[in-house]
Amino acid sequence: MKLAIVGATGVVGTKMLEMVEQYKIPYNELVLFSSKRSSGSELEVNGEVFTVQELTEDRTKDDFDYVIMSAGGSTSEKFAPLFEESGSIVIDNSSFWRMHDDIDLIVPEINTPTLNRKIIANPNCSTIQSVIALKPLYDAFGVKRVNYTTYQSVSGSGAGGIRDLEEGAKGAEPTTYPKPIYNNVIPQIDVFLDNGYTKEEVKMIDETKKILGDDSINVTATCVRVPVISSHSVQINVTLDKEASEEEVRDTFKNIPHIVLMDNPAEGVYPTPFEATNENEIYVGRIRKDPTMANTFHVWCVGDNILKGAAQNTVQILKSLIENK
């Protein structure tokens, strides 16, 4: 199997290489691509050193079986169709393809690709962990309404976000965010739209419905950047279709391999980014009934945005495609 990784030198790309090792992806040939600026650097995968190459249009004709991309929307817009035309299956981590009607938007624990086209989109990082928490509730009780509030770490903005936090602590002005992130929170992720929502908030709203395959769910969101290096936290306020008790809601999260239930606040047991960082699972806790709305519950979930929110989910999609070929 011939595999290409585009954006291999970035924050997510380097984690993809780790996930290729962890999930034992059985390639015969591996090619690492980046922009011209980062080409020539060397990266190690499975004990072998690879020289990163510049991605050009000609290289899309190299008969790759699979291509995983994490190089931004403009790169994906240009190059994903070229790889597709050459017969490759592309798994893309950017936002560009996610809401195209003919493109699969996949979280392997929830849905499977139809491959109407040979491009598969990886969802937004906060959406992934949120729908993983919602899916057991959706299956058991049905979901009528969801209100998200996110607390998103700076690594979601790549190296620039991390730099703004670390250098901001030394008094430097931000270069990635519109305001300082050190000792601050910013209720803006991506640009504002005419309706007052940000693009990030609309991503979460639209992607939740597409992944769960249910346009009837009422979804809203507020997305906030916080001064944390790794892992996103999401407060989910969810209204269920069927009546449920707090204990029944809590029980739905038990014995699920990809969910860790940490929910005993009286003993100080609840998830934070500290527990979730560098872990593959989604952490859930602080489950309680909302007394202001009928059949509504609060659920707090935390996940590593670079792993399950990006690199891990992408490589899981790849692994499932290989295994079900």
Strand, helix or coil at 297?
Answer: strand
Q: What is the DSSP letter of 176?
A: S
* Choice among 100, 223, 232, 258 that is catalytic: 232
Six-digit token pair at 212? 């769960």
* Choice among 100, 125, 223, 301 that is catalytic: 125
How many whole angstroms separate alpha carbon 32 and alpha carbon 42? 9
Q: Note if 232 is an active site residue.
A: yes
Nearest CA-CA partner of 72 in 45, 46, 34, 114: 34
Six-digit token pair at 150? 């996110």
Residues paired with 222 in a beta bridge: 149
Q: Please state the separation of Cα 316 from the chain's center in Å.
A: 12
DSSP-assigned states of every residue in 125-164: HHHHHHHHHHHHHHHHH-EEEEEEEEEE-GGGGTHHHHHH
Strands 29-34 and 2-6: parallel
Give the DSSP H/E element, type plus range, for residue 66: strand 66-69
Nearest CA-CA partner of 317 in 158, 60, 31, 115: 115
Strand, helix or coil at 182?
Answer: coil
Six-digit token pair at 128? 């992934």
**Which amino acid, residue 149?**
T
Q: Which residues are tagged catalytic?
A: 125, 232
